[in-house]
Amino acid sequence: MKIAILGAGVTGLTLARLLHEDKHDVCVLEKGKVPGGLCRSTVVDGFTCDNAGGHILFSKNKEVLDWMKDRVGRDALVETERQTRILWHDRYVPYPFENGIGSLTPQARYDCLSGYLKAVEKRKSGAPCPVNFRDWIFWKMGDGLAEHFMIPYNEKIWECPLEEMDASWVAGRVPDAPVEDIIKAAVGLRTEGYTHQSVFWFPKHGGFQALTDGIAKGLEEKVHCKTPVQSLRRKGERFEVNGEDYDLVINTIPLKELAEVFEDMDEGIREECRQLHPLSVCTVLVGYKTDTPPDPLSWIYLPFEDQGPANRVTFFSNYSPHNAPPGHASYMAEVTYRGDSLNPDQEWLDSLVSSLESCKLLKKSDVVTVQPFLSRYAYVDQNLAFPQRIARVRAWFDQSGLLTVGRFGRYEYHNSDQCIARAFQVHEHIRAFAASGEPKPLVL
Ligand SMILES: Cc1cc2nc3c(=O)[nH]c(=O)nc-3n(C[C@H](O)[C@H](O)[C@H](O)COP(=O)(O)OP(=O)(O)OC[C@H]3O[C@@H](n4cnc5c(N)ncnc54)[C@H](O)[C@@H]3O)c2cc1C
Protein backbone atom coordinates (compact mmCIF):
# COMPACT_ATOMS: atom_id res chain seq x y z
CA MET A 1 0.00 0.00 0.00
CA LYS A 2 0.97 3.61 -0.40
CA ILE A 3 0.68 5.01 3.11
CA ALA A 4 0.86 8.62 4.34
CA ILE A 5 1.99 9.08 7.93
CA LEU A 6 1.24 12.54 9.33
CA GLY A 7 3.89 13.67 11.84
CA ALA A 8 7.46 12.43 12.45
CA GLY A 9 7.47 12.07 16.24
CA VAL A 10 8.29 8.73 17.85
CA THR A 11 4.85 7.33 16.94
CA GLY A 12 4.98 8.27 13.26
CA LEU A 13 8.60 7.17 12.86
CA THR A 14 7.99 3.79 14.53
CA LEU A 15 5.09 3.13 12.19
CA ALA A 16 7.11 4.30 9.20
CA ARG A 17 9.89 1.87 10.08
CA LEU A 18 7.61 -1.13 10.66
CA LEU A 19 5.55 -0.52 7.52
CA HIS A 20 8.65 0.12 5.42
CA GLU A 21 10.04 -3.21 6.63
CA ASP A 22 6.76 -4.79 5.44
CA LYS A 23 7.52 -3.30 1.98
CA HIS A 24 4.75 -0.71 2.01
CA ASP A 25 5.49 2.58 0.27
CA VAL A 26 5.50 5.06 3.19
CA CYS A 27 5.68 8.83 3.10
CA VAL A 28 6.02 10.79 6.38
CA LEU A 29 4.92 14.43 6.32
CA GLU A 30 6.45 16.55 9.08
CA LYS A 31 6.09 20.29 9.54
CA GLY A 32 9.28 20.68 11.65
CA LYS A 33 12.79 21.15 10.30
CA VAL A 34 13.94 17.83 11.78
CA PRO A 35 12.10 14.67 12.80
CA GLY A 36 11.62 13.67 16.45
CA GLY A 37 8.68 15.76 17.70
CA LEU A 38 8.65 15.91 21.50
CA CYS A 39 11.74 13.65 21.62
CA ARG A 40 13.90 16.25 19.88
CA SER A 41 17.18 17.45 21.39
CA THR A 42 19.38 20.46 20.61
CA VAL A 43 23.01 21.32 21.31
CA VAL A 44 23.59 24.88 22.57
CA ASP A 45 27.13 26.13 23.36
CA GLY A 46 28.27 22.51 23.75
CA PHE A 47 25.36 21.63 26.10
CA THR A 48 22.90 18.98 24.91
CA CYS A 49 19.28 19.62 25.84
CA ASP A 50 16.00 17.72 25.37
CA ASN A 51 13.66 20.38 24.00
CA ALA A 52 10.54 19.14 25.79
CA GLY A 53 12.08 18.51 29.21
CA GLY A 54 14.34 15.72 30.41
CA HIS A 55 13.37 12.39 28.85
CA ILE A 56 14.42 9.00 30.18
CA LEU A 57 14.32 5.67 28.41
CA PHE A 58 12.41 3.06 30.39
CA SER A 59 9.39 0.80 30.00
CA LYS A 60 7.35 -1.77 31.89
CA ASN A 61 6.99 -3.53 28.52
CA LYS A 62 10.11 -5.65 27.92
CA GLU A 63 9.52 -6.07 24.18
CA VAL A 64 9.24 -2.31 23.76
CA LEU A 65 12.19 -1.58 26.07
CA ASP A 66 14.42 -3.98 24.11
CA TRP A 67 13.26 -2.48 20.80
CA MET A 68 14.06 1.05 22.04
CA LYS A 69 17.50 0.05 23.33
CA ASP A 70 18.32 -1.65 20.03
CA ARG A 71 17.37 1.48 18.08
CA VAL A 72 19.86 3.58 20.07
CA GLY A 73 22.43 0.75 20.36
CA ARG A 74 23.11 -1.06 23.63
CA ASP A 75 26.68 0.32 23.84
CA ALA A 76 25.48 3.83 23.21
CA LEU A 77 23.38 4.03 26.40
CA VAL A 78 24.19 5.11 29.95
CA GLU A 79 22.37 3.20 32.70
CA THR A 80 21.51 5.25 35.78
CA GLU A 81 19.87 4.47 39.11
CA ARG A 82 16.95 6.86 39.46
CA GLN A 83 17.45 9.31 42.32
CA THR A 84 14.54 11.71 42.57
CA ARG A 85 13.73 14.13 45.35
CA ILE A 86 11.21 16.77 46.28
CA LEU A 87 12.64 20.04 47.54
CA TRP A 88 10.24 20.39 50.48
CA HIS A 89 10.83 23.80 52.07
CA ASP A 90 14.30 23.48 53.69
CA ARG A 91 15.04 19.82 52.84
CA TYR A 92 15.09 17.11 50.22
CA VAL A 93 12.44 14.39 50.56
CA PRO A 94 12.58 11.14 48.53
CA TYR A 95 9.98 10.77 45.75
CA PRO A 96 7.20 9.59 45.62
CA PHE A 97 6.27 11.84 48.55
CA GLU A 98 4.32 9.15 50.41
CA ASN A 99 7.50 7.00 50.47
CA GLY A 100 9.51 9.94 51.74
CA ILE A 101 7.42 11.18 54.66
CA GLY A 102 10.01 9.91 57.17
CA SER A 103 12.14 12.91 56.16
CA LEU A 104 9.46 15.51 57.06
CA THR A 105 9.10 17.48 60.29
CA PRO A 106 7.38 15.49 63.09
CA GLN A 107 4.17 17.53 62.68
CA ALA A 108 4.01 17.00 58.89
CA ARG A 109 4.86 13.32 59.32
CA TYR A 110 1.96 13.00 61.76
CA ASP A 111 -0.42 14.91 59.44
CA CYS A 112 0.45 12.61 56.54
CA LEU A 113 0.23 9.34 58.46
CA SER A 114 -2.95 10.12 60.37
CA GLY A 115 -4.60 11.64 57.28
CA TYR A 116 -3.74 8.58 55.24
CA LEU A 117 -5.11 6.16 57.83
CA LYS A 118 -8.35 8.19 58.09
CA ALA A 119 -8.71 8.17 54.30
CA VAL A 120 -8.28 4.39 54.22
CA GLU A 121 -10.99 4.07 56.89
CA LYS A 122 -13.36 6.34 54.97
CA ARG A 123 -12.87 4.35 51.78
CA LYS A 124 -13.44 1.10 53.67
CA SER A 125 -16.73 2.44 55.01
CA GLY A 126 -17.86 3.18 51.44
CA ALA A 127 -16.83 6.78 50.61
CA PRO A 128 -17.31 6.87 46.82
CA CYS A 129 -14.42 7.68 44.46
CA PRO A 130 -14.79 11.38 43.53
CA VAL A 131 -14.91 12.58 39.94
CA ASN A 132 -12.73 15.66 40.29
CA PHE A 133 -8.97 15.50 40.92
CA ARG A 134 -8.88 17.71 44.04
CA ASP A 135 -11.47 15.64 45.89
CA TRP A 136 -9.77 12.48 44.64
CA ILE A 137 -6.46 13.54 46.21
CA PHE A 138 -8.11 13.98 49.64
CA TRP A 139 -10.09 10.74 49.20
CA LYS A 140 -7.06 8.70 48.20
CA MET A 141 -4.19 10.32 50.10
CA GLY A 142 -5.80 12.05 53.07
CA ASP A 143 -5.45 15.66 54.27
CA GLY A 144 -1.76 15.61 55.23
CA LEU A 145 -0.30 14.27 51.96
CA ALA A 146 -2.75 16.49 50.07
CA GLU A 147 -1.84 19.75 51.78
CA HIS A 148 1.88 19.15 52.25
CA PHE A 149 2.57 18.11 48.64
CA MET A 150 -0.12 16.85 46.27
CA ILE A 151 -2.25 20.01 46.09
CA PRO A 152 0.55 22.62 45.73
CA TYR A 153 2.55 20.49 43.29
CA ASN A 154 -0.41 19.64 41.06
CA GLU A 155 -1.76 23.20 41.08
CA LYS A 156 1.67 24.33 39.93
CA ILE A 157 2.08 21.83 37.11
CA TRP A 158 -1.52 21.82 35.83
CA GLU A 159 -1.99 25.59 36.09
CA CYS A 160 -5.67 25.33 36.97
CA PRO A 161 -7.97 24.71 39.97
CA LEU A 162 -7.80 20.96 40.57
CA GLU A 163 -11.57 20.71 41.05
CA GLU A 164 -11.84 21.50 37.31
CA MET A 165 -9.81 18.39 36.46
CA ASP A 166 -11.07 14.88 35.96
CA ALA A 167 -9.52 12.23 38.22
CA SER A 168 -9.69 9.15 36.01
CA TRP A 169 -6.32 9.75 34.26
CA VAL A 170 -4.47 9.14 37.55
CA ALA A 171 -5.24 5.41 37.48
CA GLY A 172 -2.03 3.61 36.59
CA ARG A 173 0.13 6.76 36.85
CA VAL A 174 0.13 7.17 40.64
CA PRO A 175 1.00 3.81 42.21
CA ASP A 176 -1.12 2.54 45.09
CA ALA A 177 0.80 2.95 48.32
CA PRO A 178 0.04 0.06 50.70
CA VAL A 179 -0.77 1.19 54.29
CA GLU A 180 2.18 -0.90 55.49
CA ASP A 181 4.53 1.17 53.29
CA ILE A 182 3.18 4.49 54.58
CA ILE A 183 3.64 3.37 58.19
CA LYS A 184 7.16 2.15 57.43
CA ALA A 185 7.98 5.40 55.64
CA ALA A 186 6.62 7.47 58.55
CA VAL A 187 8.90 5.76 61.05
CA GLY A 188 11.87 6.15 58.74
CA LEU A 189 12.13 2.66 57.17
CA ARG A 190 13.03 2.68 53.48
CA THR A 191 10.29 1.82 50.97
CA GLU A 192 10.38 2.15 47.21
CA GLY A 193 7.66 3.49 44.88
CA TYR A 194 7.82 3.30 41.07
CA THR A 195 10.01 0.20 41.04
CA HIS A 196 9.71 -0.07 37.23
CA GLN A 197 11.64 3.21 37.02
CA SER A 198 14.34 2.35 39.56
CA VAL A 199 16.88 2.35 36.73
CA PHE A 200 16.67 4.14 33.42
CA TRP A 201 18.76 4.59 30.31
CA PHE A 202 19.84 7.62 28.33
CA PRO A 203 21.82 7.96 25.07
CA LYS A 204 25.51 8.79 25.60
CA HIS A 205 25.42 11.25 22.71
CA GLY A 206 22.75 13.37 21.06
CA GLY A 207 20.19 13.53 23.86
CA PHE A 208 16.91 11.59 23.78
CA GLN A 209 16.65 12.36 20.06
CA ALA A 210 19.18 9.56 19.52
CA LEU A 211 16.15 7.29 19.96
CA THR A 212 14.10 8.83 17.15
CA ASP A 213 17.25 9.18 15.01
CA GLY A 214 17.81 5.44 15.49
CA ILE A 215 14.22 4.64 14.58
CA ALA A 216 14.44 6.83 11.45
CA LYS A 217 17.78 5.36 10.31
CA GLY A 218 17.50 4.26 6.68
CA LEU A 219 14.22 6.11 6.19
CA GLU A 220 15.77 9.48 5.34
CA GLU A 221 14.17 9.61 1.89
CA LYS A 222 10.76 8.70 3.29
CA VAL A 223 10.59 11.48 5.88
CA HIS A 224 9.71 14.87 4.42
CA CYS A 225 10.46 17.69 6.85
CA LYS A 226 9.21 21.27 6.45
CA THR A 227 6.12 19.66 4.90
CA PRO A 228 3.02 20.55 6.93
CA VAL A 229 -0.21 18.74 6.17
CA GLN A 230 -2.24 21.41 4.40
CA SER A 231 -5.09 19.44 2.87
CA LEU A 232 -6.64 16.05 3.50
CA ARG A 233 -9.73 14.63 1.86
CA ARG A 234 -11.34 11.31 1.01
CA LYS A 235 -11.25 10.05 -2.56
CA GLY A 236 -13.58 7.06 -2.65
CA GLU A 237 -11.87 4.35 -0.58
CA ARG A 238 -8.58 6.25 -0.71
CA PHE A 239 -7.31 9.60 0.61
CA GLU A 240 -5.64 12.65 -0.88
CA VAL A 241 -3.00 14.46 1.23
CA ASN A 242 -1.47 17.72 -0.02
CA GLY A 243 -2.75 16.80 -3.52
CA GLU A 244 -1.27 13.27 -3.59
CA ASP A 245 -3.23 9.97 -3.47
CA TYR A 246 -2.70 7.34 -0.76
CA ASP A 247 -4.34 3.99 0.09
CA LEU A 248 -4.13 4.67 3.79
CA VAL A 249 -3.49 7.61 6.13
CA ILE A 250 -2.15 7.33 9.68
CA ASN A 251 -2.38 10.49 11.71
CA THR A 252 -0.08 11.33 14.63
CA ILE A 253 -0.36 15.17 14.58
CA PRO A 254 -2.53 16.80 17.25
CA LEU A 255 -6.24 16.19 16.56
CA LYS A 256 -6.82 19.90 17.12
CA GLU A 257 -4.55 20.61 14.11
CA LEU A 258 -5.96 17.76 12.02
CA ALA A 259 -9.47 19.17 12.45
CA GLU A 260 -8.38 22.30 10.53
CA VAL A 261 -7.27 20.36 7.42
CA PHE A 262 -9.45 17.23 7.19
CA GLU A 263 -12.33 18.20 4.91
CA ASP A 264 -14.57 15.18 5.44
CA MET A 265 -14.93 15.33 9.20
CA ASP A 266 -18.26 15.23 10.93
CA GLU A 267 -18.81 18.89 11.95
CA GLY A 268 -19.72 17.96 15.54
CA ILE A 269 -16.47 15.96 15.89
CA ARG A 270 -14.48 18.81 14.34
CA GLU A 271 -15.86 21.16 17.00
CA GLU A 272 -15.01 18.63 19.74
CA CYS A 273 -11.41 18.44 18.42
CA ARG A 274 -11.16 22.23 18.61
CA GLN A 275 -11.94 21.97 22.34
CA LEU A 276 -9.00 19.61 22.98
CA HIS A 277 -6.68 22.18 24.52
CA PRO A 278 -3.10 21.22 25.38
CA LEU A 279 -1.02 22.28 28.36
CA SER A 280 2.31 23.69 27.14
CA VAL A 281 5.81 23.51 28.58
CA CYS A 282 8.77 25.87 28.47
CA THR A 283 12.02 23.98 29.05
CA VAL A 284 14.97 26.12 30.07
CA LEU A 285 18.50 24.78 29.64
CA VAL A 286 20.83 26.26 32.26
CA GLY A 287 24.55 25.49 31.73
CA TYR A 288 27.07 26.51 34.39
CA LYS A 289 30.76 26.26 35.28
CA THR A 290 31.70 23.92 38.10
CA ASP A 291 34.74 22.08 39.43
CA THR A 292 32.64 19.57 41.34
CA PRO A 293 29.86 17.56 39.67
CA PRO A 294 26.32 18.18 40.99
CA ASP A 295 24.72 15.80 43.52
CA PRO A 296 24.05 12.42 41.87
CA LEU A 297 20.36 13.21 41.42
CA SER A 298 18.18 12.53 38.37
CA TRP A 299 15.64 15.26 38.90
CA ILE A 300 13.91 17.18 41.67
CA TYR A 301 10.39 18.53 42.04
CA LEU A 302 9.77 22.09 43.21
CA PRO A 303 6.16 22.01 44.45
CA PHE A 304 5.84 25.50 45.93
CA GLU A 305 5.19 28.88 44.30
CA ASP A 306 7.94 30.55 46.36
CA GLN A 307 10.49 28.25 44.66
CA GLY A 308 9.93 30.03 41.34
CA PRO A 309 7.99 28.98 38.23
CA ALA A 310 9.69 25.60 37.55
CA ASN A 311 7.89 22.49 38.76
CA ARG A 312 10.81 20.15 37.96
CA VAL A 313 14.55 20.51 37.47
CA THR A 314 16.42 17.73 35.70
CA PHE A 315 20.13 17.26 36.53
CA PHE A 316 20.74 16.70 32.86
CA SER A 317 24.52 16.44 32.82
CA ASN A 318 24.12 13.47 35.20
CA TYR A 319 22.22 11.56 32.47
CA SER A 320 25.30 11.40 30.24
CA PRO A 321 28.80 12.86 30.75
CA HIS A 322 28.54 14.17 27.18
CA ASN A 323 25.54 16.38 27.92
CA ALA A 324 27.83 19.19 29.15
CA PRO A 325 31.35 20.28 28.16
CA PRO A 326 34.23 19.43 30.58
CA GLY A 327 34.26 21.67 33.66
CA HIS A 328 30.53 22.36 33.30
CA ALA A 329 27.17 20.90 34.33
CA SER A 330 23.60 21.56 33.27
CA TYR A 331 20.03 21.63 34.49
CA MET A 332 16.81 21.72 32.62
CA ALA A 333 13.94 23.53 34.31
CA GLU A 334 10.35 22.86 33.20
CA VAL A 335 7.62 25.48 33.46
CA THR A 336 4.08 24.69 32.33
CA TYR A 337 1.71 27.31 30.90
CA ARG A 338 -1.58 27.65 29.10
CA GLY A 339 -2.28 29.44 25.82
CA ASP A 340 0.05 32.40 25.27
CA SER A 341 0.50 33.15 28.98
CA LEU A 342 4.31 32.78 28.98
CA ASN A 343 6.91 34.96 27.28
CA PRO A 344 10.42 33.71 28.14
CA ASP A 345 12.16 37.07 27.64
CA GLN A 346 15.47 38.03 29.29
CA GLU A 347 13.82 39.39 32.42
CA TRP A 348 11.79 36.20 32.92
CA LEU A 349 14.85 33.99 32.31
CA ASP A 350 16.87 36.06 34.84
CA SER A 351 14.19 35.60 37.46
CA LEU A 352 14.04 31.86 36.75
CA VAL A 353 17.82 31.55 37.26
CA SER A 354 17.53 33.63 40.46
CA SER A 355 14.90 31.22 41.74
CA LEU A 356 17.29 28.28 41.11
CA GLU A 357 19.94 30.19 43.04
CA SER A 358 17.48 30.71 45.93
CA CYS A 359 16.91 26.95 45.91
CA LYS A 360 20.72 26.59 46.33
CA LEU A 361 21.07 24.73 43.04
CA LEU A 362 23.68 27.07 41.53
CA LYS A 363 25.47 30.41 41.74
CA LYS A 364 24.19 32.89 39.20
CA SER A 365 27.74 34.07 38.50
CA ASP A 366 28.66 30.53 37.27
CA VAL A 367 25.90 30.40 34.65
CA VAL A 368 27.19 30.50 31.07
CA THR A 369 24.17 29.45 28.98
CA VAL A 370 20.43 29.94 29.37
CA GLN A 371 18.20 28.81 26.52
CA PRO A 372 14.41 28.38 26.53
CA PHE A 373 12.46 25.96 24.31
CA LEU A 374 8.68 26.08 23.93
CA SER A 375 6.52 23.00 23.30
CA ARG A 376 2.92 24.00 22.70
CA TYR A 377 1.61 20.42 22.88
CA ALA A 378 3.14 18.93 26.01
CA TYR A 379 0.46 17.57 28.34
CA VAL A 380 -3.10 16.43 27.73
CA ASP A 381 -5.47 18.79 29.54
CA GLN A 382 -7.56 16.53 31.79
CA ASN A 383 -10.57 18.81 32.27
CA LEU A 384 -13.91 17.40 33.44
CA ALA A 385 -15.37 17.32 29.91
CA PHE A 386 -12.32 15.55 28.46
CA PRO A 387 -13.10 11.83 29.07
CA GLN A 388 -16.50 11.92 27.30
CA ARG A 389 -15.25 14.27 24.59
CA ILE A 390 -12.21 12.20 23.65
CA ALA A 391 -14.25 8.97 23.76
CA ARG A 392 -16.61 10.42 21.12
CA VAL A 393 -13.72 11.67 18.98
CA ARG A 394 -11.80 8.38 19.12
CA ALA A 395 -14.94 6.37 18.37
CA TRP A 396 -15.63 8.49 15.27
CA PHE A 397 -12.08 8.14 13.93
CA ASP A 398 -11.82 4.44 14.72
CA GLN A 399 -14.71 3.62 12.39
CA SER A 400 -13.73 6.27 9.81
CA GLY A 401 -10.84 4.39 8.16
CA LEU A 402 -8.38 7.19 9.01
CA LEU A 403 -6.18 5.76 11.75
CA THR A 404 -5.17 8.17 14.50
CA VAL A 405 -2.63 7.41 17.23
CA GLY A 406 0.06 9.16 19.33
CA ARG A 407 0.23 11.43 22.37
CA PHE A 408 -1.86 14.13 20.70
CA GLY A 409 -3.02 12.10 17.70
CA ARG A 410 -5.17 10.25 20.22
CA TYR A 411 -4.80 12.44 23.31
CA GLU A 412 -3.43 9.63 25.43
CA TYR A 413 -1.18 10.69 28.30
CA HIS A 414 1.57 8.37 27.05
CA ASN A 415 5.33 8.29 27.31
CA SER A 416 7.39 7.39 24.24
CA ASP A 417 7.45 3.68 25.13
CA GLN A 418 3.67 3.59 25.28
CA CYS A 419 3.52 5.46 21.95
CA ILE A 420 5.74 2.74 20.49
CA ALA A 421 3.51 0.03 21.98
CA ARG A 422 0.51 1.71 20.33
CA ALA A 423 2.40 1.87 17.01
CA PHE A 424 3.03 -1.90 17.30
CA GLN A 425 -0.74 -2.42 17.74
CA VAL A 426 -1.61 -0.24 14.74
CA HIS A 427 1.03 -2.10 12.71
CA GLU A 428 -0.73 -5.40 13.54
CA HIS A 429 -4.06 -3.85 12.57
CA ILE A 430 -2.65 -2.83 9.17
CA ARG A 431 -1.12 -6.27 8.65
CA ALA A 432 -4.52 -7.85 9.20
CA PHE A 433 -6.09 -5.36 6.79
CA ALA A 434 -3.38 -5.92 4.16
CA ALA A 435 -3.86 -9.70 4.44
CA SER A 436 -7.66 -9.72 4.24
CA GLY A 437 -8.36 -6.56 2.24
CA GLU A 438 -11.28 -6.04 4.64
CA PRO A 439 -11.21 -2.66 6.46
CA LYS A 440 -12.20 -3.10 10.12
CA PRO A 441 -12.62 -0.50 12.90
CA LEU A 442 -9.41 0.13 14.83
CA VAL A 443 -9.55 -1.37 18.32
CA LEU A 444 -6.84 -0.21 20.77
C1 LIG B 1 7.81 17.41 29.81
C2 LIG B 1 7.75 16.04 29.16
C3 LIG B 1 8.54 15.02 29.68
C4 LIG B 1 8.48 13.76 29.10
N5 LIG B 1 9.29 12.77 29.61
C6 LIG B 1 9.32 11.56 29.00
C7 LIG B 1 10.24 10.56 29.44
O8 LIG B 1 11.00 10.77 30.37
N9 LIG B 1 10.26 9.38 28.77
C10 LIG B 1 9.43 9.12 27.73
O11 LIG B 1 9.50 8.03 27.14
N12 LIG B 1 8.52 10.03 27.30
C13 LIG B 1 8.45 11.25 27.91
N14 LIG B 1 7.57 12.21 27.48
C15 LIG B 1 6.54 11.84 26.48
C16 LIG B 1 7.06 11.79 25.04
O17 LIG B 1 7.73 12.99 24.70
C18 LIG B 1 5.86 11.62 24.11
O19 LIG B 1 5.04 10.58 24.53
C20 LIG B 1 6.24 11.31 22.67
O21 LIG B 1 7.35 12.05 22.25
C22 LIG B 1 5.03 11.62 21.76
O23 LIG B 1 5.33 11.25 20.44
P24 LIG B 1 4.26 11.43 19.27
O25 LIG B 1 4.93 10.97 18.04
O26 LIG B 1 2.99 10.77 19.64
O27 LIG B 1 3.94 12.98 19.22
P28 LIG B 1 4.87 14.22 18.84
O29 LIG B 1 6.23 13.99 19.32
O30 LIG B 1 4.12 15.42 19.31
O31 LIG B 1 4.90 14.18 17.25
C32 LIG B 1 3.94 14.77 16.43
C33 LIG B 1 4.66 15.37 15.23
O34 LIG B 1 3.68 15.96 14.37
C35 LIG B 1 4.24 17.14 13.82
N36 LIG B 1 3.14 18.01 13.34
C37 LIG B 1 2.27 18.76 14.05
N38 LIG B 1 1.42 19.41 13.22
C39 LIG B 1 1.75 19.04 11.96
C40 LIG B 1 1.23 19.34 10.68
N41 LIG B 1 0.20 20.17 10.50
N42 LIG B 1 1.82 18.76 9.60
C43 LIG B 1 2.87 17.91 9.73
N44 LIG B 1 3.40 17.60 10.92
C45 LIG B 1 2.85 18.16 12.04
C46 LIG B 1 5.02 17.74 14.99
O47 LIG B 1 5.97 18.67 14.53
C48 LIG B 1 5.63 16.48 15.60
O49 LIG B 1 6.90 16.20 15.05
C50 LIG B 1 7.60 13.49 28.02
C51 LIG B 1 6.82 14.53 27.51
C52 LIG B 1 6.89 15.80 28.06
C53 LIG B 1 6.04 16.89 27.49
Terminal-to-terminal C-alpha distance of the chain: 22
In this prediction, what percent of the chain has a pLDDT beyond 90?
93
C-alpha 52 – ligand 1 centre gap (Å): 8
**What single letter denotes the amino acid at residue 36?**
G
Does the CB atom of residue 406 touch ligand 1 within 6 A?
yes
Is-above-0.75 flag for pTM?
yes
Q: Which residue has the higher pLDDT, 170 or 230?
A: 230
Q: What span, in angstroms and rounded, lies between the C-alpha atoms of 86 and 149?
A: 9
- At 194, the pLDDT band (50, 70, 90 cuts) reads low
Task: Return the residue whose CA atom lies nearest to atom 49 of ligand 1.
Answer: 37
- At 196, the pLDDT band (50, 70, 90 cuts) reads low
CB neighbours of residue 148 within 10 Å: 26
Q: Are 245 and 239 in contact (CB under 8 A)?
A: yes
Question: Which residues belong to CATH 3.90.660.20 in the chain?
Answer: 278-380
C-alpha 244 – ligand 1 centre gap (Å): 26
C-alpha 407 – ligand 1 centre gap (Å): 6
C-alpha 163 – ligand 1 centre gap (Å): 27
Does the CB atom of residue 280 touch ligand 1 within 6 A?
no
Element (H, E) at 10: helix 10-21
For a mutational test of ligand 1's pocket, the pick from 319, 415, 424, 426, i.e. the residue with the most ligand atoms closer than 8 A to its C-beta, is 415
pLDDT number for residue 293: 86
Which is the closest atom of ligand 1 to the Cα of 35? 49
* Model confidence at 418: pLDDT above 70: yes
- At 178, the pLDDT band (50, 70, 90 cuts) reads confident
**What single letter denotes the amino acid at residue 431?**
R
pLDDT number for residue 250: 98
Overall average pLDDT of the 272-281 stretch = 97
Q: What span, in angstroms and rounded, lies between the C-alpha atoms of 251 and 11?
A: 9
Overall average pLDDT of the 165-181 stretch = 85
C-alpha 231 – ligand 1 centre gap (Å): 22
Question: Could you give phi then psi for residue 372, rounded to 5 degrees?
Answer: -90, 150
pLDDT digits (tens, 9 = 90+) for 56-77: 999 999 999 999 999 999 999 9
Task: Return the residue whose CA atom lies nearest to atom 26 of ligand 1.
Answer: 406
Helix (H, G, I), strand (E, B) or coil at 335: strand
Does the CB atom of residue 376 touch ligand 1 within 6 A?
no
Does the CB atom of residue 50 touch ligand 1 within 6 A?
no
Name the E strands within 40-101: 41-44, 47-50, 77-81, 84-88, 91-94
Q: Are 215 and 252 in contact (CB under 8 A)?
A: no
pLDDT number for residue 396: 97
Q: What span, in angstroms and rounded, lies between the C-alpha atoms of 317 and 299?
A: 11
Task: Return the residue whose CA atom lies nearest to atom 3 of ligand 1.
Answer: 53
Which is the closest atom of ligand 1 to the Cα of 53? 1
C-alpha 124 – ligand 1 centre gap (Å): 40
Helix (H, G, I), strand (E, B) or coil at 246: strand
Overall average pLDDT of the 198-206 stretch = 96
* Model confidence at 171: pLDDT above 90: no
C-alpha 394 – ligand 1 centre gap (Å): 19
C-alpha 366 – ligand 1 centre gap (Å): 32
C-alpha 325 – ligand 1 centre gap (Å): 27
* Model confidence at 22: pLDDT above 80: yes
Does the CB atom of residue 344 touch ligand 1 within 6 A?
no
Q: What span, in angstroms and rounded, lies between the C-alpha atoms of 230 and 242?
A: 6
Does the CB atom of residue 119 touch ligand 1 within 6 A?
no
* Model confidence at 219: pLDDT above 90: yes
Which residues, 6 or more positions from 2, have their beta carbon under 8 angstroms from its beta carbon? 24, 25, 27, 245, 246, 247, 248
Question: Which residues belong to CATH 3.50.50.60 in the chain?
Answer: 2-37+208-277+383-436
Question: Any idea of the CA torsion for 333, 337, 339, 343, to the nearest 10 degrees?
Answer: -50
Mean pLDDT across the chain: 96
- At 195, the pLDDT band (50, 70, 90 cuts) reads low
Does domain 278-380 fall under CATH 3.90.660.20? My reply is yes
For a mutational test of ligand 1's pocket, the pick from 253, 279, 408, 420, i.e. the residue with the most ligand atoms closer than 8 A to its C-beta, is 253
Does the CB atom of residue 257 touch ligand 1 within 6 A?
yes
- DSSP bridge partners of 165: 383
The CATH code of domain 2-37+208-277+383-436 reads 3.50.50.60
Least confident of 51-65, 190-204, 306-320, 418-432: 190-204
pLDDT digits (tens, 9 = 90+) for 110-129: 999 999 999 999 999 999 99
Does the CB atom of residue 310 touch ligand 1 within 6 A?
no
Which is the closest atom of ligand 1 to the Cα of 375? 53
Does the CB atom of residue 216 touch ligand 1 within 6 A?
no
For a mutational test of ligand 1's pocket, the pick from 416, 417, 420, i.e. the residue with the most ligand atoms closer than 8 A to its C-beta, is 416
